[in-house]
Amino acid sequence: MDVLSIKQRFGIIGNSALLDRAIDIASQVAPTDITVLITGESGTGKEVFPKIIHHLSARKHGSYIAVNCGAIPEGTIDSELFGHEKGSFTGAHEARKGYFEVANGGTIFLDEVVELPLSTQVRLLRVLESGEFMKVGSSKVLKTDVRIVAATNFNLPDAIRSGKFRQDLYYRLNTVPIFIPPLKDRKDDIVLLFRKFSADFAEKYRMPPLVLDEEAKKYLMNFRWRGNIRQLKNVTEQISIIESDRNITTKILTKYLPQDQNSELPVLYKGNCPQNEFSERDLLYKVLFDMKKDVNDLKKLLREIIREENIPPNIQKDNLQLINNLYSDKNLDVPSGKEDKYEIQVEPQDTINEPVIDTEIIEESLSLQKKEVDLIKKALEKHKGKRKMAAQELGISERTLYRKIKEYDIG
């Protein structure tokens, strides 16, 4: 079966070369019993490809079972997959067959396989290597003939390094890898998907389909769909139900699309810029402002060292002047016309005490500091005070966020 026929049969929308490649690999590997690992971001439609592999294989008349490994509690996952004997644990009132026994001769799709406990991963590895398993509470070895297709949106090499996933199991699952591209890599398909979802919802809710103008199409294509197809479908359904005007403009779209997803960079937005752009000037000043703060900290530390070591005043001044020259604005490559605003001045004293260091902070930086405070507050409000998620949103470490909260006295 060719790629176009597979798309029509399984309702796959898109003309991306990456998508076609994934479908082609799935169709070629389907007639074999090779284990397949499907990777891709959340919401890209990974669950469709195990169905393609199953229905194009000799196992198509056997059972097909999809298991969400992250949705089953750790204490019952072994029982669900491999079954259990009567009385093997509290509540086991009768013997039960597991998925691997029920799906004998068919296919099992293990979604979010990285969520499996390590003890279950050992059991799964044995099934992959020999087809053998034991029920919970039993010492009898059973055999099964099951095709395994696994999927995850995690970076498995990272999970292996962190000790969350077994390396030997990864190599067994990753016999044939299939990567499902995210929407950011198939922008031309976004409008096609929106049109398809709009038509489906129009039929479901008995209303006219939505129509995008040209600007709205560009806006959809340039938007960063972190939830990929799932997010696009949900947004299309919301608009279909709520909007009475079926001609959709950019203004309407902005009401349904979170503005903090237009860019992946943790930048400060300039007030008069379009919401999907950022000012390079603001970003440059932000970097310079942070560097200036580091220089100030270094100079304070040097001053304390000089004072404790009782270094003569003339050498004190030479050392401080060296720091000034090393971190001067010429070395920081400050934009033309701003050199005087970034100047770090050293003023000698009449006494032999340590020199006074006076750092002038530019007004531009002060405004950027206010923007940074506002950005942190918005991130904390969005994630209901959860600092870890707010830090990920801002693109900084949780420790840095904690320091800035304390520094700016953010309540």
Q: Give per-residue pLDDT as tens, 132-181.
A: 999 999 999 999 999 999 999 999 999 999 999 999 999 999 999 999 99
Give rounded-to-5 percent helix, strand, coil for the chain.
50, 10, 35
Amino acid letter at 196? K
Of 389, 361, 364, the residue nearest 376 (C-alpha): 389
Q: For 282-340, how does the pLDDT look when each residue is reduced to its tens digit (9 = 90+)?
A: 566 566 767 777 777 777 776 666 666 555 565 555 565 655 555 554 444 444 444 44
- Top pLDDT among 375 and 173 is at 173
Quote the pLDDT of residue 88. 85
pLDDT confidence bin for 34, thresholds 50/70/90 = very high
DSSP state string for 55-82: HTSTTTTS-EEEEETTTS-TTTHHHHHH
Q: What is the mean pLDDT of residues 389-409?
A: 82
Q: How far is it, in rounded angstroms, from Cα 69 to Cα 55?
A: 22
Q: What's the chain's average pLDDT?
A: 82
Q: What is the biggest distance separating any 2 CA atoms in the chain, rounded to whole angstroms?
A: 95
Confidence check: pLDDT of 69 > 50: yes
Collapse the DSSP code of 263 into the 3-class scheme (helix H, G, I; strand E, B; otherwise coil) and give the result.
Answer: coil
Q: For 101-121, how does the pLDDT look when each residue is reduced to its tens digit (9 = 90+)?
A: 999 999 999 999 999 999 999
Q: How far is it, in rounded angstroms, from Cα 182 to Cα 225?
A: 8
Quote the pLDDT of residue 392. 83
pLDDT confidence bin for 91, thresholds 50/70/90 = confident
Collapse the DSSP code of 165 into the 3-class scheme (helix H, G, I; strand E, B; otherwise coil) and give the result.
Answer: coil
User: Rounded to two decimals, what is the model's pTM?
Assistant: 0.63
pLDDT confidence bin for 270, thresholds 50/70/90 = very low
pLDDT confidence bin for 408, thresholds 50/70/90 = confident
Under a CB-based contact definition with an 8 Å cutoff, are residues 209 and 199 in contact?
yes
pLDDT confidence bin for 77, thresholds 50/70/90 = very high
pLDDT confidence bin for 123, thresholds 50/70/90 = very high
Domains of the chain listed by start with CATH number: 3-181 (3.40.50.300), 184-257 (1.10.8.60), 280-361 (no CATH), 365-408 (1.10.10)
Collapse the DSSP code of 359 into the 3-class scheme (helix H, G, I; strand E, B; otherwise coil) and give the result.
Answer: strand
